[in-house]
Amino acid sequence: MRILTVTQGEYGNRITANIQRHCPADWTVESWVAPRVLPPVIDYPEEYLPAWLPPADLLLSLGEHPGIAEFLPDIAQMTGAKAVLAPIDNVQWMPPGLMRQLTGWLAELNVPVIFPKPFCTLTERTYNANRLQVEYDAPLVAEFARHFGRPTLNISVDEATKCIVDVAVERDAACGCARHVAGGLVGVSVEEAGYAAGMLHHHYPCLAAMAMDPDYNDTLLHVSGHILRDETAGQVKPFKELPIYLRPQ
């Protein structure tokens, strides 16, 4: 698969670097760095685009300005992209109205666009968390999500000590946070694993926004942290001591 990322700063750079480092050997991951400063309204997107961009199957939008969305239809046409993945880790970069506009623009090109909010909710079939979960059908995005998206771990525990001895990352978060958490969990007791995962996630640091999100009634950073915490807790649950209940006589 050929992927082109559109970046503007550290957010996109970290995600691009992690994907390049850990993607399958037959993937090609290239990047276009968009201008850091853009006007509030972009009348002529072609004035900001390069004369040429490499061919791509999947376009990954990692901009830090709403104006990046206006470039995506043109970039899709220039690269021949068959799908667009536009994660929302900060609503200011992709407000709901702009999301609807972009969906319409790309629909005219017969190009599906997926908006996981936050990025680490993406699976091969769904995106978003809890009651906001949405099913989708976009094979290229699903192929990406086999390797990057909602973290999945395989945790090994020493049954004698009840401590974690190994953590294999089966699917990493696109930013690399799951690998960071996995390394920090080795040696942690099963009783402390869920809490430890949440703290390791927070200190990575997570790239999701810390502002309150009206859809979740929580911050996207917390939504992301809960995903890794719950994944860890579920993995170690079979090794925990069952609580002892006293029955009244």
Based on the domain organization, do 61 and 107 belong to the same domain?
Answer: yes
Based on the domain organization, do 89 and 161 belong to the same domain?
Answer: no
Q: Strand 152-158 to strand 58-62: parallel, antiparallel, or no bridges (unpaired)?
A: unpaired
Based on the domain organization, do 96 and 165 belong to the same domain?
Answer: no
Non-local CB neighbours of 75 within 8 Å, separated by 6+ positions: 4, 6, 32, 49, 53, 59, 81
Based on the domain organization, do 32 and 93 belong to the same domain?
Answer: yes
Report residue 39's pLDDT band, with 50, 70 and 90 as the boundaries. Answer: confident
- Is the CB of residue 196 less than 8 Å from the CB of residue 180? no
Q: Strand 126-127 to strand 134-135: parallel, antiparallel, or no bridges (unpaired)?
A: antiparallel
The CATH number of whichever domain residue 35 belongs to comes to 3.40.50.720
Rg of the chain, C-alpha, whole Å: 20
Based on the domain organization, do 111 and 7 belong to the same domain?
Answer: yes
Q: Strand 152-158 to strand 163-171: parallel, antiparallel, or no bridges (unpaired)?
A: antiparallel
- What value does the mean pLDDT of the chain take? 94
Q: Strand 113-114 to strand 83-85: parallel, antiparallel, or no bridges (unpaired)?
A: parallel
Based on the domain organization, do 161 and 110 belong to the same domain?
Answer: no
For residue 168, give its domain range.
152-239
Based on the domain organization, do 95 and 164 belong to the same domain?
Answer: no
pLDDT digits (tens, 9 = 90+) for 139-158: 999 999 999 999 999 999 99
Based on the domain organization, do 89 and 168 belong to the same domain?
Answer: no
Look at residue 246 in the predicted model and tell me its pLDDT.
55
Match 């911050």 to its residue by tokens.
219
User: What gap in Å lies between CA 115 and CA 121, rounded to an integer?
Assistant: 10
109 within some domain: yes
142 within some domain: no
The CATH number of whichever domain residue 198 belongs to comes to 3.90.1010
Based on the domain organization, do 96 and 40 belong to the same domain?
Answer: yes
Domain termination residue (choose one: 54, 89, 115): 115
pLDDT digits (tens, 9 = 90+) for 66-98: 999 999 999 999 999 999 999 999 999 999 999
Non-local CB neighbours of 131 within 8 Å, separated by 6+ positions: none
Look at residue 248 in the predicted model and tell me its pLDDT.
63
Domain termination residue (choose one: 58, 86, 115): 115
- Is the CB of residue 197 less than 8 Å from the CB of residue 228? yes
55 within some domain: yes
Strand order in the sheet with 113-114: 28-33, 2-7, 58-62, 83-85, 113-114
- Helix H or strand E segment including 76: helix 68-79
Q: Which of 157, 159, 182 is nearest to 170 (CA)?
A: 182
136 within some domain: no
Domain termination residue (choose one: 115, 143, 167): 115
Based on the domain organization, do 111 and 156 belong to the same domain?
Answer: no
What is the average pLDDT across 35-42?
Answer: 79
Based on the domain organization, do 226 and 177 belong to the same domain?
Answer: yes
Angle at 221 between CA 216 and CA 226, to 5 degrees: 75
Based on the domain organization, do 9 and 92 belong to the same domain?
Answer: yes
Non-local CB neighbours of 218 within 8 Å, separated by 6+ positions: 212
Structural domains of the chain, count: 2
